[in-house]
Amino acid sequence: MFMKTVLADGQAEQQVIREMKARAAGARGDIEQIVRGVMADVQQRGWDAVVEYAERFDGKAPYIVEPKVLDDAYNACDPKLIAALEKAAANIRDYHEQMLVKTWEWNRSGGETLGQTVRGLSRVGIYVPGGTAAYPSSVLMNAIPAKVAGVGELIMVTPPTENMSNEVLAAAKIAGVDTVIAIGGTQAIAALTYGAGFIPQVDKIVGPGNAFVAAAKKLAFGTVDIDMIAGPSEVLVIADHTANPTYVAADLLSQAEHDKLASAVLLTDSMAQAQAISCEMERQAKLLPRWDIIKESVANYGCAIVFDDLKDACRMADVVAPEHLEVVTAAPRELLPYLHNAGAIFLGQYAPEPLGDYMAGPCHVLPTSGTARFFSPLSTDTFLKKTSVIEYTRDALESYAQDIIALAQSEHLDAHANSIAVRFAEENDNENR
Protein backbone atom coordinates (compact mmCIF):
# COMPACT_ATOMS: atom_id res chain seq x y z
CA MET A 1 0.00 0.00 0.00
CA PHE A 2 1.07 3.59 -0.67
CA MET A 3 0.62 4.58 2.98
CA LYS A 4 1.50 2.14 5.74
CA THR A 5 -1.53 1.02 7.72
CA VAL A 6 -1.48 -0.37 11.25
CA LEU A 7 -4.00 -1.55 13.80
CA ALA A 8 -4.06 0.43 17.03
CA ASP A 9 -2.79 -1.83 19.80
CA GLY A 10 -1.35 0.60 22.33
CA GLN A 11 2.12 0.33 20.79
CA ALA A 12 1.80 1.03 17.05
CA GLU A 13 0.21 4.43 17.53
CA GLN A 14 2.85 5.41 20.10
CA GLN A 15 5.56 4.67 17.57
CA VAL A 16 3.87 7.04 15.09
CA ILE A 17 3.90 9.80 17.71
CA ARG A 18 7.60 9.21 18.44
CA GLU A 19 8.46 9.44 14.75
CA MET A 20 6.53 12.68 14.36
CA LYS A 21 8.33 14.22 17.32
CA ALA A 22 11.73 13.07 16.08
CA ARG A 23 11.27 14.76 12.71
CA ALA A 24 10.72 18.10 14.42
CA ALA A 25 14.06 18.17 16.23
CA GLY A 26 15.59 21.61 16.74
CA ALA A 27 18.13 23.30 14.55
CA ARG A 28 21.48 21.59 14.07
CA GLY A 29 24.26 22.74 16.32
CA ASP A 30 26.32 24.08 13.42
CA ILE A 31 23.41 26.29 12.30
CA GLU A 32 22.89 27.64 15.81
CA GLN A 33 26.60 28.41 16.12
CA ILE A 34 26.64 30.37 12.85
CA VAL A 35 23.45 32.25 13.75
CA ARG A 36 24.70 33.07 17.23
CA GLY A 37 27.83 34.62 15.72
CA VAL A 38 25.85 36.76 13.26
CA MET A 39 23.43 37.94 15.94
CA ALA A 40 26.25 38.90 18.31
CA ASP A 41 28.15 40.72 15.55
CA VAL A 42 25.11 42.77 14.54
CA GLN A 43 24.39 43.61 18.17
CA GLN A 44 27.96 44.88 18.57
CA ARG A 45 28.69 46.53 15.21
CA GLY A 46 25.19 47.41 14.01
CA TRP A 47 24.68 48.63 10.47
CA ASP A 48 28.18 47.80 9.22
CA ALA A 49 27.71 44.16 10.17
CA VAL A 50 24.23 44.04 8.64
CA VAL A 51 25.54 45.36 5.31
CA GLU A 52 28.43 42.89 5.29
CA TYR A 53 26.18 39.89 5.85
CA ALA A 54 23.55 41.15 3.41
CA GLU A 55 26.12 41.60 0.66
CA ARG A 56 27.54 38.14 1.39
CA PHE A 57 24.26 36.21 1.60
CA ASP A 58 21.71 38.38 -0.25
CA GLY A 59 24.10 39.70 -2.87
CA LYS A 60 23.35 43.34 -2.12
CA ALA A 61 22.96 45.82 0.72
CA PRO A 62 19.52 46.25 2.30
CA TYR A 63 17.19 48.79 0.72
CA ILE A 64 13.63 50.04 1.11
CA VAL A 65 11.23 48.85 -1.57
CA GLU A 66 9.53 52.00 -2.79
CA PRO A 67 5.71 52.24 -2.78
CA LYS A 68 5.74 52.57 -6.59
CA VAL A 69 7.33 49.11 -6.81
CA LEU A 70 4.44 47.71 -4.76
CA ASP A 71 1.96 49.48 -7.03
CA ASP A 72 3.67 48.10 -10.13
CA ALA A 73 3.71 44.60 -8.67
CA TYR A 74 0.00 44.86 -7.85
CA ASN A 75 -0.79 45.97 -11.40
CA ALA A 76 1.39 43.23 -12.92
CA CYS A 77 -0.49 40.42 -11.18
CA ASP A 78 -3.28 38.46 -12.79
CA PRO A 79 -6.56 40.27 -11.95
CA LYS A 80 -8.05 36.93 -10.85
CA LEU A 81 -5.28 36.53 -8.29
CA ILE A 82 -5.75 40.10 -7.06
CA ALA A 83 -9.48 39.45 -6.66
CA ALA A 84 -8.73 36.28 -4.67
CA LEU A 85 -6.22 38.09 -2.46
CA GLU A 86 -8.67 40.92 -1.82
CA LYS A 87 -11.42 38.45 -0.94
CA ALA A 88 -9.12 36.52 1.39
CA ALA A 89 -7.97 39.77 3.00
CA ALA A 90 -11.58 40.79 3.67
CA ASN A 91 -12.35 37.43 5.30
CA ILE A 92 -9.21 37.55 7.45
CA ARG A 93 -10.03 41.10 8.53
CA ASP A 94 -13.66 40.25 9.34
CA TYR A 95 -12.68 37.23 11.43
CA HIS A 96 -10.04 39.04 13.45
CA GLU A 97 -12.24 42.07 14.06
CA GLN A 98 -14.73 39.70 15.71
CA MET A 99 -12.10 38.35 18.13
CA LEU A 100 -10.43 41.66 18.98
CA VAL A 101 -10.10 42.21 22.75
CA LYS A 102 -10.76 45.80 23.82
CA THR A 103 -9.99 48.00 26.81
CA TRP A 104 -12.46 47.40 29.66
CA GLU A 105 -13.33 48.66 33.14
CA TRP A 106 -15.21 47.06 36.04
CA ASN A 107 -16.57 48.64 39.22
CA ARG A 108 -16.39 45.73 41.62
CA SER A 109 -17.86 47.50 44.66
CA GLY A 110 -17.91 50.93 46.26
CA GLY A 111 -14.68 52.70 45.41
CA GLU A 112 -12.97 49.80 43.62
CA THR A 113 -12.38 50.31 39.90
CA LEU A 114 -10.40 47.69 38.00
CA GLY A 115 -9.70 47.30 34.35
CA GLN A 116 -7.28 46.66 31.54
CA THR A 117 -5.95 48.80 28.74
CA VAL A 118 -5.44 46.91 25.48
CA ARG A 119 -3.16 48.43 22.88
CA GLY A 120 -1.49 47.24 19.71
CA LEU A 121 2.29 46.91 19.79
CA SER A 122 4.19 49.94 18.53
CA ARG A 123 6.24 48.20 15.84
CA VAL A 124 6.22 44.66 14.41
CA GLY A 125 8.51 42.96 11.90
CA ILE A 126 7.23 40.32 9.48
CA TYR A 127 9.69 37.93 7.85
CA VAL A 128 8.64 36.70 4.41
CA PRO A 129 10.79 34.06 2.68
CA GLY A 130 11.93 34.59 -0.89
CA GLY A 131 12.51 32.27 -3.84
CA THR A 132 10.26 29.22 -4.20
CA ALA A 133 8.96 29.66 -0.62
CA ALA A 134 7.33 33.04 -1.33
CA TYR A 135 3.71 32.75 -0.24
CA PRO A 136 1.46 35.83 -0.61
CA SER A 137 -1.17 34.15 1.60
CA SER A 138 1.28 34.21 4.51
CA VAL A 139 1.76 37.96 4.08
CA LEU A 140 -2.00 38.45 4.52
CA MET A 141 -2.20 36.03 7.44
CA ASN A 142 0.60 37.74 9.37
CA ALA A 143 -0.04 41.39 8.49
CA ILE A 144 -3.83 41.77 8.65
CA PRO A 145 -4.28 40.55 12.27
CA ALA A 146 -1.51 42.98 13.24
CA LYS A 147 -3.30 45.85 11.52
CA VAL A 148 -6.62 44.92 13.13
CA ALA A 149 -4.87 44.85 16.52
CA GLY A 150 -3.73 48.44 15.97
CA VAL A 151 0.02 47.88 15.51
CA GLY A 152 1.56 51.30 14.96
CA GLU A 153 4.12 50.34 12.31
CA LEU A 154 4.40 47.14 10.30
CA ILE A 155 7.75 46.39 8.66
CA MET A 156 8.12 43.49 6.22
CA VAL A 157 11.54 42.06 5.43
CA THR A 158 12.10 39.73 2.48
CA PRO A 159 15.22 38.63 0.58
CA PRO A 160 16.15 40.83 -2.41
CA THR A 161 15.84 38.12 -5.06
CA GLU A 162 16.63 39.11 -8.63
CA ASN A 163 12.94 39.23 -9.41
CA MET A 164 11.06 39.82 -6.18
CA SER A 165 7.69 38.11 -6.16
CA ASN A 166 5.00 40.39 -7.57
CA GLU A 167 2.44 38.32 -5.68
CA VAL A 168 4.16 38.86 -2.33
CA LEU A 169 4.58 42.60 -2.93
CA ALA A 170 0.96 42.89 -4.03
CA ALA A 171 -0.14 41.09 -0.86
CA ALA A 172 1.92 43.54 1.21
CA LYS A 173 0.10 46.44 -0.46
CA ILE A 174 -3.31 44.83 0.11
CA ALA A 175 -2.53 44.04 3.75
CA GLY A 176 -1.39 47.60 4.50
CA VAL A 177 2.26 46.89 5.31
CA ASP A 178 3.92 50.23 6.10
CA THR A 179 7.47 49.51 4.93
CA VAL A 180 9.01 46.70 2.88
CA ILE A 181 12.77 46.21 3.27
CA ALA A 182 14.80 43.97 0.96
CA ILE A 183 16.92 41.91 3.34
CA GLY A 184 16.77 38.23 4.24
CA GLY A 185 18.17 35.54 6.48
CA THR A 186 19.73 35.83 9.90
CA GLN A 187 20.88 39.38 9.20
CA ALA A 188 17.26 40.49 8.75
CA ILE A 189 16.21 39.00 12.09
CA ALA A 190 19.27 40.51 13.80
CA ALA A 191 18.57 43.98 12.36
CA LEU A 192 14.95 43.86 13.52
CA THR A 193 16.04 42.60 16.94
CA TYR A 194 18.65 45.23 17.73
CA GLY A 195 17.96 47.99 15.21
CA ALA A 196 20.57 48.92 12.62
CA GLY A 197 20.79 51.86 10.24
CA PHE A 198 17.40 52.65 8.78
CA ILE A 199 16.03 49.32 10.08
CA PRO A 200 14.45 50.06 13.46
CA GLN A 201 14.21 47.71 16.41
CA VAL A 202 10.77 46.11 16.57
CA ASP A 203 8.74 44.81 19.50
CA LYS A 204 7.92 41.48 17.90
CA ILE A 205 9.00 39.36 14.91
CA VAL A 206 6.58 37.00 13.16
CA GLY A 207 6.62 34.95 10.00
CA PRO A 208 8.13 31.70 8.68
CA GLY A 209 11.65 31.09 7.44
CA ASN A 210 14.35 28.48 6.93
CA ALA A 211 16.41 26.83 9.68
CA PHE A 212 18.69 29.89 9.98
CA VAL A 213 15.74 32.25 10.39
CA ALA A 214 14.09 29.94 12.94
CA ALA A 215 17.32 29.74 14.96
CA ALA A 216 17.72 33.53 14.80
CA LYS A 217 14.17 34.09 16.04
CA LYS A 218 14.81 31.71 18.91
CA LEU A 219 17.90 33.72 19.91
CA ALA A 220 16.03 37.02 19.47
CA PHE A 221 13.35 36.01 21.96
CA GLY A 222 13.75 37.97 25.16
CA THR A 223 15.15 41.03 23.43
CA VAL A 224 12.01 41.10 21.31
CA ASP A 225 8.99 38.82 21.27
CA ILE A 226 8.35 36.25 18.53
CA ASP A 227 5.30 34.36 17.34
CA MET A 228 6.56 30.76 17.52
CA ILE A 229 9.24 28.40 16.24
CA ALA A 230 7.40 26.55 13.51
CA GLY A 231 8.22 22.96 12.63
CA PRO A 232 7.32 20.88 9.57
CA SER A 233 3.72 21.02 8.38
CA GLU A 234 1.26 18.35 9.46
CA VAL A 235 -2.32 17.22 9.06
CA LEU A 236 -4.25 14.58 10.96
CA VAL A 237 -7.59 13.39 9.57
CA ILE A 238 -10.20 11.48 11.56
CA ALA A 239 -12.50 9.73 9.09
CA ASP A 240 -15.24 7.13 9.38
CA HIS A 241 -16.77 4.86 6.73
CA THR A 242 -18.93 7.69 5.36
CA ALA A 243 -15.97 9.85 4.32
CA ASN A 244 -15.28 10.23 0.61
CA PRO A 245 -11.86 8.57 0.02
CA THR A 246 -11.12 10.96 -2.86
CA TYR A 247 -11.61 13.99 -0.63
CA VAL A 248 -9.62 12.64 2.31
CA ALA A 249 -6.75 11.50 0.07
CA ALA A 250 -6.56 14.95 -1.52
CA ASP A 251 -6.48 16.61 1.90
CA LEU A 252 -3.67 14.36 3.15
CA LEU A 253 -1.65 15.07 0.00
CA SER A 254 -2.16 18.82 0.39
CA GLN A 255 0.14 18.73 3.41
CA ALA A 256 2.50 15.98 2.22
CA GLU A 257 3.51 18.18 -0.72
CA HIS A 258 4.96 20.90 1.55
CA ASP A 259 8.28 19.18 2.13
CA LYS A 260 9.86 15.81 2.84
CA LEU A 261 9.40 16.27 6.60
CA ALA A 262 5.67 17.00 6.36
CA SER A 263 3.37 14.54 8.09
CA ALA A 264 -0.03 13.25 6.93
CA VAL A 265 -1.81 10.86 9.33
CA LEU A 266 -5.19 9.18 8.99
CA LEU A 267 -7.16 7.86 11.98
CA THR A 268 -10.19 5.73 11.17
CA ASP A 269 -12.40 2.95 12.49
CA SER A 270 -12.53 1.14 9.14
CA MET A 271 -9.71 -0.91 7.59
CA ALA A 272 -11.55 -0.85 4.26
CA GLN A 273 -11.62 2.94 4.41
CA ALA A 274 -7.91 3.12 5.25
CA GLN A 275 -7.07 0.94 2.25
CA ALA A 276 -9.35 2.90 -0.08
CA ILE A 277 -7.84 6.23 0.97
CA SER A 278 -4.28 4.88 0.59
CA CYS A 279 -4.99 3.67 -2.94
CA GLU A 280 -6.60 6.99 -3.84
CA MET A 281 -3.61 8.89 -2.45
CA GLU A 282 -1.26 6.96 -4.72
CA ARG A 283 -3.46 7.53 -7.76
CA GLN A 284 -3.69 11.29 -7.16
CA ALA A 285 -0.08 11.74 -6.07
CA LYS A 286 1.32 10.36 -9.32
CA LEU A 287 -0.51 13.12 -11.18
CA LEU A 288 0.98 15.92 -9.06
CA PRO A 289 4.14 17.91 -9.88
CA ARG A 290 5.60 17.43 -6.39
CA TRP A 291 5.36 13.63 -6.59
CA ASP A 292 8.95 13.07 -5.39
CA ILE A 293 8.40 15.15 -2.25
CA ILE A 294 5.02 13.54 -1.55
CA LYS A 295 6.37 10.00 -1.99
CA GLU A 296 9.15 10.55 0.55
CA SER A 297 6.94 12.44 3.00
CA VAL A 298 4.26 9.74 3.00
CA ALA A 299 6.80 6.91 3.19
CA ASN A 300 8.56 8.38 6.23
CA TYR A 301 5.87 10.31 8.09
CA GLY A 302 2.54 9.18 6.67
CA CYS A 303 0.44 6.52 8.33
CA ALA A 304 -3.10 5.20 8.66
CA ILE A 305 -4.11 3.85 12.06
CA VAL A 306 -7.27 1.82 12.48
CA PHE A 307 -9.08 2.03 15.85
CA ASP A 308 -12.04 0.09 17.19
CA ASP A 309 -13.65 3.34 18.38
CA LEU A 310 -13.25 6.88 17.06
CA LYS A 311 -13.15 8.19 20.62
CA ASP A 312 -9.83 6.37 20.95
CA ALA A 313 -8.75 8.15 17.77
CA CYS A 314 -9.67 11.45 19.42
CA ARG A 315 -7.49 10.58 22.40
CA MET A 316 -4.56 9.98 20.10
CA ALA A 317 -5.27 13.23 18.26
CA ASP A 318 -5.05 15.07 21.58
CA VAL A 319 -1.63 13.55 22.25
CA VAL A 320 -0.36 14.43 18.77
CA ALA A 321 -1.83 17.96 19.03
CA PRO A 322 -1.59 18.47 15.25
CA GLU A 323 -1.25 21.71 13.37
CA HIS A 324 -4.32 20.86 11.24
CA LEU A 325 -7.04 18.43 12.36
CA GLU A 326 -9.83 17.40 10.01
CA VAL A 327 -12.90 15.51 11.22
CA VAL A 328 -14.62 13.90 8.23
CA THR A 329 -17.37 11.79 9.75
CA ALA A 330 -21.15 11.46 9.52
CA ALA A 331 -21.56 13.78 12.54
CA PRO A 332 -18.27 15.66 13.05
CA ARG A 333 -19.60 18.00 15.74
CA GLU A 334 -20.26 15.01 18.00
CA LEU A 335 -16.50 14.46 18.25
CA LEU A 336 -15.65 18.12 18.83
CA PRO A 337 -16.02 17.93 22.67
CA TYR A 338 -13.36 15.19 22.71
CA LEU A 339 -10.79 17.23 20.78
CA HIS A 340 -8.80 19.68 22.88
CA ASN A 341 -5.40 20.06 21.23
CA ALA A 342 -5.07 21.28 17.64
CA GLY A 343 -3.98 24.41 15.84
CA ALA A 344 -7.15 24.44 13.75
CA ILE A 345 -10.06 22.00 13.51
CA PHE A 346 -11.92 21.51 10.23
CA LEU A 347 -15.36 19.92 10.47
CA GLY A 348 -17.01 17.99 7.64
CA GLN A 349 -16.17 17.05 4.09
CA TYR A 350 -16.52 20.62 2.79
CA ALA A 351 -14.04 22.21 5.18
CA PRO A 352 -10.70 20.99 3.76
CA GLU A 353 -7.43 22.26 5.19
CA PRO A 354 -6.61 24.51 2.17
CA LEU A 355 -9.79 26.46 2.94
CA GLY A 356 -8.08 27.54 6.15
CA ASP A 357 -4.77 28.16 4.39
CA TYR A 358 -6.25 30.71 2.01
CA MET A 359 -9.77 31.94 2.47
CA ALA A 360 -11.85 31.18 5.58
CA GLY A 361 -10.38 33.93 7.76
CA PRO A 362 -8.72 32.28 10.78
CA CYS A 363 -4.95 32.61 10.57
CA HIS A 364 -3.01 29.76 9.00
CA VAL A 365 0.03 30.45 11.21
CA LEU A 366 -0.51 27.57 13.63
CA PRO A 367 1.43 25.74 16.34
CA THR A 368 3.22 22.62 15.09
CA SER A 369 5.08 19.63 16.52
CA GLY A 370 2.67 19.08 19.40
CA THR A 371 2.86 22.66 20.67
CA ALA A 372 -0.89 23.08 20.14
CA ARG A 373 -1.09 21.61 23.65
CA PHE A 374 -0.13 25.06 24.96
CA PHE A 375 0.19 27.49 22.00
CA SER A 376 -2.60 29.20 20.08
CA PRO A 377 -2.79 30.30 16.43
CA LEU A 378 -1.44 33.70 15.48
CA SER A 379 -4.24 36.26 15.88
CA THR A 380 -4.93 39.80 17.02
CA ASP A 381 -3.92 38.66 20.53
CA THR A 382 -0.42 38.05 19.16
CA PHE A 383 -0.02 41.78 18.55
CA LEU A 384 -1.68 43.20 21.66
CA LYS A 385 -0.13 44.46 24.87
CA LYS A 386 -2.34 44.43 27.96
CA THR A 387 -1.85 46.60 31.03
CA SER A 388 -3.76 46.27 34.30
CA VAL A 389 -5.45 49.42 35.69
CA ILE A 390 -6.25 49.74 39.42
CA GLU A 391 -8.01 52.69 41.09
CA TYR A 392 -9.27 52.66 44.71
CA THR A 393 -10.85 55.30 46.92
CA ARG A 394 -9.56 55.83 50.44
CA ASP A 395 -12.44 53.88 51.99
CA ALA A 396 -11.98 51.00 49.58
CA LEU A 397 -8.27 50.71 50.39
CA GLU A 398 -8.95 50.96 54.10
CA SER A 399 -11.30 47.99 53.94
CA TYR A 400 -8.36 45.81 52.85
CA ALA A 401 -5.55 47.58 54.71
CA GLN A 402 -5.08 45.11 57.56
CA ASP A 403 -5.27 42.14 55.20
CA ILE A 404 -2.58 43.60 52.93
CA ILE A 405 -0.38 44.43 55.93
CA ALA A 406 -0.76 40.89 57.26
CA LEU A 407 0.21 39.38 53.89
CA ALA A 408 3.19 41.71 53.48
CA GLN A 409 4.48 40.98 56.98
CA SER A 410 4.15 37.25 56.43
CA GLU A 411 6.61 37.67 53.55
CA HIS A 412 8.91 39.90 55.64
CA LEU A 413 8.35 42.83 53.26
CA ASP A 414 7.91 45.56 55.84
CA ALA A 415 8.15 48.41 53.34
CA HIS A 416 5.17 46.94 51.51
CA ALA A 417 3.22 46.90 54.76
CA ASN A 418 4.32 50.44 55.56
CA SER A 419 3.14 51.68 52.17
CA ILE A 420 -0.37 50.82 53.30
CA ALA A 421 -0.03 51.78 56.97
CA VAL A 422 1.23 55.34 56.38
CA ARG A 423 -1.97 56.24 54.57
CA PHE A 424 -3.95 55.75 57.79
CA ALA A 425 -1.33 56.57 60.40
CA GLU A 426 -2.37 60.24 60.89
CA GLU A 427 -5.99 59.32 61.48
CA ASN A 428 -4.99 56.63 63.97
CA ASP A 429 -2.74 59.12 65.79
CA ASN A 430 -5.63 61.60 66.07
CA GLU A 431 -7.91 58.92 67.45
CA ASN A 432 -5.33 58.00 70.10
CA ARG A 433 -4.93 61.62 71.36
pLDDT averaged over consecutive 10-residue blocks of the chain (433 residues)? 89 82 68 95 98 95 97 97 98 97 92 96 96 87 98 96 89 98 97 98 95 94 94 94 98 94 95 97 96 94 95 96 97 97 98 97 94 95 97 96 98 98 78 52
Total domain count, the chain: 3
> Is position 411 annotated in a ligand binding site?
yes
Q: Is 241 flagged in the annotation as binding?
A: no
Residue 381 lies in a domain: no
Domain-located, residue 15: yes
User: Is residue 332 in a domain?
Assistant: yes
For residues 98 and 135, state if they share a domain: yes
Residue 165 known to bind ligand: no
Res 109: pLDDT: 85
Q: pLDDT value at position 91?
A: 98
The reply to whether 416 sits in an annotated binding site is yes
Question: Does 112 lie in the same domain as 191?
Answer: yes
Do 60 and 10 belong to one domain? no
Residue type, 199: I
373 within a domain of the structure (yes/no): no
Asked whether residue 226 falls in the same domain as residue 239, the answer is no
Q: Give the domain-ending residue among 207, 230, 253.
A: 230
Known binding residue 349? Answer is: no
Q: What is the pLDDT of residue 230?
A: 82
The CATH number of residue 278's host domain is 3.40.50.1980
Tell me, yes or no, whether 249 and 225 share the same domain.
Answer: no
Domain range spanning residue 74? 29-230
- The reply to whether 126 and 193 lie within a common domain is yes
- B/e letters for 268-295, b = 16+ CB within 10 Å, e = fewer, are bbbeebbbbbbebbbebbeeeeeeebbb
Q: Are residues 193 and 323 in the same domain?
A: no
**Is 353 in the active site?**
no
Whether 375 is covered by a domain: the verdict is no
Out of 32, 257, 280, 324, the active site residue is: 324
Give the per-residue pLDDT at 429: 59
- In this structure, the chain runs to a length of 433
The pTM is what?
0.93
Tell me if 372 sits within 8 A of 343, measured CB to CB: yes
Residue of 167, 323, 326, 353 marked catalytic = 323
Q: Which of 209, 230, 251 is the last residue of a domain?
A: 230
pLDDT at position 430: 56
For residue 324, indicate whether it is catalytic.
yes
Q: Are 141 and 365 within 8 A, CB to CB?
A: yes
Residue 319's φ and ψ, nearest 5 degrees, are: -70, -40
In a domain, 245, yes or no: yes
Q: Is residue 321 part of a domain?
A: yes
C-alpha distances in Å from residue 236, one per residue of 16, 94, 314: 12, 27, 11
pLDDT at 25: 62
Is 104 found in the same domain as 223? yes
Please indicate, yes or no, whether residues 77 and 20 belong to a single structural domain of this protein. Answer: no
Judge if 103 and 154 occupy the same domain.
yes
Q: Specify whether 103 is located in the same domain as 140.
A: yes
> Quick check: is 369 in a domain?
no
Q: Are residues 18 and 80 in the same domain?
A: no
CA 9 to chain centre: 34
Query: Is 364 marked as a binding-site residue?
Result: no
Of 338, 361, 384, the residue that ends a domain is: 361
**Helix H segments across 99-180?**
136-149, 166-175
